[in-house]
Amino acid sequence: MSSHERRTRRGARSVVTTVVGWLFVAVLTVAAAGCVAKTQVRSVDAVLKKYDLKVEGEPVKLTVKVPADWKVPLGAYPEGLYWGLANEYSKDVGLDLTKLKGQTVEAWVYSLAGGLPGEGDQARFRYPSDVVVLLDQGKVAGAWVNFNRWGVGPSVRLRKLEDITGLTFEKWVEREGFFNDPGSNADLAKLNPAEVVAAFFEAINKGDKVRANACLSPRVMLNGLTVNLRPRVLYNPGFGENNSYTENILSGTLVSWRYYALDPSRGMVTGQNQPAGDSVGIEAQVFIRWRDATFNSPSGGPETRFIGLTRTAYGWKIEGFGTGP
């Protein structure tokens, strides 16, 4: 065999080897892509399996934009509060939602089979609840449970906020700095409970919804995100008449009132020196005109409302307007 023929054959073998190598790499790449896809699908199932979360049916799949800024000034719509709270529950299983700020992700919302039991006297009842799993580019990036469908939490380990952080909701809000920027409403922190109620109605009558919201407690603001939840959303995109006192109350006047203790064992607390978490009740005669006329007083005159308030790090805040103590 001539030297030319030997070189030609070596070259042919080299070409064949290269082509086979390319084909091998291509096959591996395709196979790997298939494995990744399966792994990503299984990872959602793995979350459900690992934490023994039995779900019903197929998930509702939503596209969600995670806000880049989670700060919430006093009186503002508390979108960041939702994400901050969801993040505490998600971090309980090692998934930090702050990495998703400003990104668009997919949310898979599963119905939890059998729901979850209530607390205290309600423990004998079970409430429909959802499991929320966030996917970023097909990979699990967050997970938590929504108790009673509109509550945020517990974690998928079924641990509550206080179990995870050692803090009550009010103390956690204070630690995280939500609502700590009062803007033009810093004066509200100096008011006693009755004065806060009067300031709320005055703001409603003037159409100053930010100031009216600044009179409401963090928990009321949080509930506005999820109560009477619209279809196919994680939380309401804004305040409306079905999820906000400031949108449903058209006008109001505080006529007269008396304080009563919501917790008789603590005695009466109405001053400014109580720690965050203290509460007080006001039995009030009020004129309230609601957008939903079914809430209006049949007589057209003043009616009795029981108004609960909680002391926060930035003053007394309204918890609600009830028809009974």
pLDDT (average), residues 125-154: 93
pLDDT surpassing 50 at residue 41: no
Q: Is the pLDDT reported for residue 21 higher than 60?
A: no
Domains in the chain: boundaries? 1-50, 55-176, 183-322
Most confident among 92-106, 137-151, 310-324 (mean pLDDT): 92-106
**Cβ partners under 8 Å of residue 281, min gap 6:** 259, 260, 261, 262, 306, 307, 308, 309, 325
Match 């080299």 to its residue by tokens.
Answer: 14
Amino acid at 71: K
Has residue 95 got a pLDDT over 90? yes
pLDDT (tens digit per residue) in 301-314? 899 999 999 999 89
Report the pLDDT value the prediction gives residue 2, as an integer from 0 to 100.
45
Say yes or no to pLDDT of 39 above 60: no
Residue 98 and residue 90: Cα distance in Å, rounded?
10
pLDDT at 129: 94
Nearest C-alpha neighbor of 108 from the set 84, 78, 143? 143
For the full predicted model, state whether its pTM sits above 0.85.
no
Mean per-residue pLDDT for 74-81? Answer: 96
| pLDDT-derived band at 149, boundaries 50, 70, 90 | confident
| CATH number attached to the domain at 183-322 | 3.10.450
pLDDT higher than threshold 60 for residue 25: no
Average pLDDT for the chain: 85
| 218 close to 170: Cβ distance less than 8 angstroms | yes
> Dihedral (C-alpha) 45, 49, 51, 57: value to the nearest 10 degrees?
60
| Mean pLDDT computed over 122-151 | 93
Residue-wise pLDDT tens digits, 151-186: 899 999 999 999 999 999 999 999 999 999 999 999
The secondary structure of the chain, three-state, reads CCHHHHHHHHHHHHHHHHHHHHHHHHHHHHHHHHHHHHHHHHHHHHHHHHCCCCEEEEEEEEEEECCCCCCCCCCCCCHHHHHHHHHHHHHCCCCCHHHHCCCEEEEEEEEECCCEECCHHHCCCEECCEEEEEEECCEEEEEEEECCCCCCECCCCCCCHHHHHCCCHHHHHHHHCCCCCCHHHHHHHHCCHHHHHHHHHHHHHHCCHHHHHHCECHHHHHHHHHCCCCCCCCCCCCCCCCCCHHHHEEEEEEEEEEEECCCHHHCCCCCCCCCCCCEEEEEEEEEEEECCHHHCCCCCCCEEEEEEEEEECCEEEEEEEECCC
| pLDDT greater than 50 at residue 33 | no
242-277, pLDDT tens digit by residue?
899 999 999 999 999 999 877 776 666 666 667 777
